[in-house]
Amino acid sequence: MKYKKIGIFEISALTLGTVSLGIPYGVFSGQQQPDTGVAGQLLRAASKYGISSFDTAREYGIAEQLLGTLVADGLSAGTAIVSKFKITADAVTRPALAKQQAFDSVRESLCRLNLGQLPFCLFHMVSGYDPNAVCAVVPGILESLIQEGLIAYGGISLDNLTELKTFAALPAIKVLQVPVNIWDQRLMGDPVWETLAAQEKIIFARSVFLKGLLLQRPEELSGDLKAAAYFIEQLALFAKACDMSVAGFCFSYVRDLPGITSIVFGAETLQQLEENIGLLNGKRIPADVLEKAKACFKGVPENVLIPRSWKL
């Protein structure tokens, strides 16, 4: 397991996401929230396997409390815990209200997590908010949170390329969480990604399997996701050409992108946890196959790439 040292914190190449531990999150058959006992076992096992970074948020149900129990049990002070806050739509244009909501949210997270300071704090961007309006208020909030000692590093969790272009160059944004997967070639085709890699921002890549869609069987898709069937079939062929599993192919693609600090992944069972850790050591995708795959997946419909737009 590789690590990136940021201050006193160590970010492991894998970050365990906790959303599926805290709330019902699955979309497809077989995806189920584990009970609190199993969730606690998963968190402890991840730590023992060398995972030193965990992703959570206020809106992830009991996820912060579960992590807080791990902290209380003696988790290393260098563990890189990432949590997030939101502000309401009316607060976006009211800086004082936005700051109050952010501070209240972060203090609540600290209480749930049993922490005195949040290592990494991200603003959880809402798709309907004006990026420019958010840009005018959030950096100042993050700087204030740092000055008050409530957080160590600030950043933003994004959904799309437009948001990335708006926030990437801001000095207050040290950390970015971005959806990245083999099907979504929009980010990789834009110069902003090369700029990010050169700036050495901390980049957490989430949605490696596109909420599990990339691992589904084409014949089991419903609603507008039927449009994804062809691309699932092509993905399987590309993986087979490399003698790789589909999961391994998807994982290696993201792992080997320039600028990625850590891959955020979810696990609902110990077996899934161990399988994902194993994928970290998978082989590289041959260059010729990779180029063919990238060209193919430029044709994936945009609505398929955005889980919130799915109509199953």
Q: Is residue 156 part of a domain?
A: yes
Q: Is residue 55 part of a domain?
A: yes
Q: Is residue 245 part of a domain?
A: no
**250 alpha-carbon distance from chain centroid:** 15
| Cβ–Cβ under 8 Å, residues 11 and 52 | yes
Q: What is the pLDDT of residue 312?
A: 79
Q: What is the pLDDT of residue 236?
A: 98
Count of structural domains, the chain: 1
d(CA 312, CA 297): 21
The SS3 assignment for 222 reads: coil
Q: What is the pLDDT of residue 29?
A: 63
Q: Is residue 305 part of a domain?
A: no
Q: Is residue 50 part of a domain?
A: yes
Q: Is residue 170 part of a domain?
A: yes
d(CA 277, CA 208): 14
d(CA 287, CA 273): 28
| CATH number of domain containing 80 | 3.20.20.100
Q: Is residue 311 part of a domain?
A: no
Q: What is the pLDDT of residue 199?
A: 82
Q: CA distances (Å), 57 to each of 19, 49, 241, in order?
A: 8, 23, 39
Domain of residue 40 covers 3-217+250-284
Q: How buried is 208 (Cβ within 10 angstroms: 0-12 exposed, 13-18 middle, 19+ buried)?
A: buried
d(CA 290, CA 250): 11
34: amino acid identity, one letter: P
**Across the chain, which distance is largest between two alpha carbons, in Å?**
56
Q: Is residue 207 part of a domain?
A: yes
| Cβ–Cβ under 8 Å, residues 182 and 293 | yes
Taking only the tens of pLDDT, the chain with its 312 residues reads: 999 999 999 999 999 999 999 988 767 766 688 889 999 999 999 999 999 999 999 999 999 999 999 999 988 889 999 999 999 999 999 999 999 999 999 999 999 999 999 999 999 999 899 999 999 999 999 999 999 999 999 999 999 888 999 998 899 999 999 999 999 998 887 888 888 878 889 999 999 999 999 999 999 999 999 999 999 999 999 999 999 999 999 999 999 998 999 999 999 999 999 999 999 999 999 999 999 999 999 999 999 999 888 987
Q: What is the DSSP letter of 79?
A: B
